């Protein structure tokens, strides 16, 4: 009951969605849309488990005065604040006339989004500008032939995508300028490599999906 039934459910669901791809006749053509809605609803329930886990761990840190208990308080406070405004604005938006969404500009939820969430998210993303530089400094060294190819390709594409590259090769006719090399590397060499990887991924993914549907990979089921 604990293992055999779930594996059968997985098998039936897998086969159903493979067949649905080939049958346009209703209801099969609706499977993909139904699944996307079901998944969204299940995920909306599951996030309660995650949030409760985050709160539990933070509370334990505070009660047991662990090293970073101050930050646990901050996590709980910011979580509760945005939760309060999210529900408040959402509820108020539903019953307002004309109704508005909690995301609309001007709501307090949007204020948190614009002034707290977005700067944190954008700045964390922007740290990549520094990390990409330090990674290049460390990794692009001509250790062997493969590393040299990696280095040269990055070098030429980087130079080609910026006007400086064309200034250096200005004396060449238009189609042999640095930016055209970069475009050629991207359009031909990069396409070839991407295709080999994509085909490989497709085959690997089909094999993994099949192993899961046939119940050979049952790790996700856990113990009895």
Partner 1 sequence: MKVKELLAAVIIVLFFLLCYFFSPKPVQFSPTVSVVVIILLSLAFVYVFIRTFQGKFIGRRTVFVFVGVSLLLPFFMQFSLPVLISPEVRSVYDALEELPPGSKVLASFDYDPASAPELQPMADAFMKYAFEHGLKVIIMGLWPQGPQQADQSVQAAFAENPGLRDSIKYGRDYVNLGFQAGNEFVILRMGESFKAMFPTDLYNTPYDSIPLLKNVSNFSNVDFGMNFSAGKPGTVEWVQIASDRYKLPMGAGNTAVQAPMAYPYMKKGESGRKQLIGLLGGMAGGAEFEKLTKKQAKATTYLLSQSFAHMVVIMFIIIGNVAFFREKKEKE
Partner 2 sequence: MADRFTAVYICLLFALLLFFSPSTPVIAQDKPDADTVKLSSIPPDTILPEYYPLSPSNIRVSDVPNDAGGSLIIEWDLSPDDHEGGKVKEYIVLRSKAAKGPFEEVGNATQGATSFRDNRTQRGVKFFYKVTALNYEKTDGEFLWKASSESDVAGPAVSTAQWFNFDRLNIFIGIIILCGAIIYFIVAAQKGKSFYIRKIAGIEEVENAVGRATEMGRPIYYVPGISDMDDVQTLASVTILGRVAAIAAENDTRIDVPVSRSMVMVTAREVVKEAYSKAGRPDAFQEDQVRYLTDDQFGYAAAIDGLFVREKPATIFLIGAFFAESLIMAETGNSIGAIQISGTAMPAQLPFFIAACDFTLIGEELFAASAYLSHEPKLLGSLKGQDLGKAVFLIAILIGVILESFGIPVHELFAVK
Partner 3 sequence: MEFWHVFGIWFAAALTIGIISFLYRDNVLYKICEAIFVGTSAGYWFIVFFWDNLYKKFYVQVSDPTNPERYVPWVGFVLGVLMLTRLFSKIGWMSRWPMAFIVGAVAGLYMMIYFVSNAMVQVSSTIMPVFIGSWSEIIANTTIAIGTFCGLVYFFFSKEHRGAFGGAARIGIWFLMITFGASFGYTVMSRMSLMIGRLDFLFGTWLGMIP
Contact set for partner 2, span 42-71 (CB under 8 A): 42-43, 46-51, 53-54, 57, 68
Per rule CB under 8 A, count of chain residues that contact partner 3:
127
All residues at 6 or more sequence positions from 161 whose CB lies less than 8 Å from its CB, including other chains: 179, 182
Residue number with CB closer to partner 2 (65 or 138): 138
Among 9, 19, 149, 188, which residue interacts with partner 2 (rule: CB under 8 A)?
19
Ramachandran quadrant class, 76 (left: phi over 0; alpha: psi -120 to 50; beta: rest): alpha
Q: Residue written as tokens 């959402």?
A: 90
Answer yes or no whether residue 62 interacts with partner 3 by CB under 8 A.
Answer: no
Answer yes or no whether residue 177 interacts with partner 1 by CB under 8 A.
Answer: yes
Answer yes or no whether residue 32 interacts with partner 1 by CB under 8 A.
Answer: yes
All residues at 6 or more sequence positions from 136 whose CB lies less than 8 Å from its CB, including other chains: 154
Q: CB under 8 A: which stretch of 93-101, 118-126, 166-174, 181-189 binds partner 2?
A: 118-126
Q: What is the largest CA-CA distance in the chain?
A: 75
Residue number with CB closer to partner 1 (76 or 159): 159
From the list partner 2, partner 1, partner 3, none, partner contacted by residue 171 (C-beta under 5 to 8 A by kind): none
Q: Residue written as tokens 């590397």?
A: 185
Provide DSSP, 156-173: HHHHHTSHHHHHHTTTS-
From the list partner 3, partner 2, partner 1, none, partner contacted by residue 143 (C-beta under 5 to 8 A by kind): partner 1
Minimum CB distance to partner 3, residue 174 (Å): 14
Dist. CA 62–CA 16, nearest whole Å? 48
Answer yes or no whether residue 70 interacts with partner 1 by CB under 8 A.
Answer: no
Dist. CA 52–CA 37, nearest whole Å? 24
Q: CB under 8 A: which stretch of 107-115, 160-168, 174-182, 214-222 binds partner 2?
A: 214-222
Per rule CB under 8 A, count of chain residues that contact partner 1:
48
């Amino acid at each position: 009951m604990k293992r055999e039934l779930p594996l059968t459910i997985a098998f039936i669901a897998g086969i159903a969605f493979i067949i649905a791809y080939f049958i346009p006749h209703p209801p099969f053509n609706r499977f993909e849309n139904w699944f996307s809605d079901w998944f969204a609803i299940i995920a909306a329930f599951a996030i309660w488990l995650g949030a409760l886990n985050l709160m539990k761990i933070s509370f334990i840190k505070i009660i047991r005065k662990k090293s970073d208990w101050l930050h646990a308080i901050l996590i709980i406070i910011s979580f509760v604040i945005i939760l309060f405004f999210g529900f408040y604005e959402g509820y108020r938006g539903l019953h307002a006339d004309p109704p508005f969404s909690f995301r609309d500009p001007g709501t307090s939820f949007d204020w948190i989004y614009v002034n707290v969430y977005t700067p944190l998210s954008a700045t964390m993303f922007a740290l990549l500008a520094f990390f990409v530089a330090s990674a290049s400094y460390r990794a692009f060294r001509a250790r062997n032939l493969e590393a040299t190819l990696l280095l040269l390709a990055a070098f030429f594409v980087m130079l080609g995508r910026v006007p400086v590259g064309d200034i250096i090769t200005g004396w060449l006719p238009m189609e042999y300028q640095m930016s055209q090399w970069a475009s050629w590397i991207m359009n031909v060499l990069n396409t070839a490599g991407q295709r080999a990887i994509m085909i490989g991924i497709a085959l690997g993914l089909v094999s993994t999906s099949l192993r899961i549907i046939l119940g050979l990979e049952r790790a996700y089921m856990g113990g009895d």
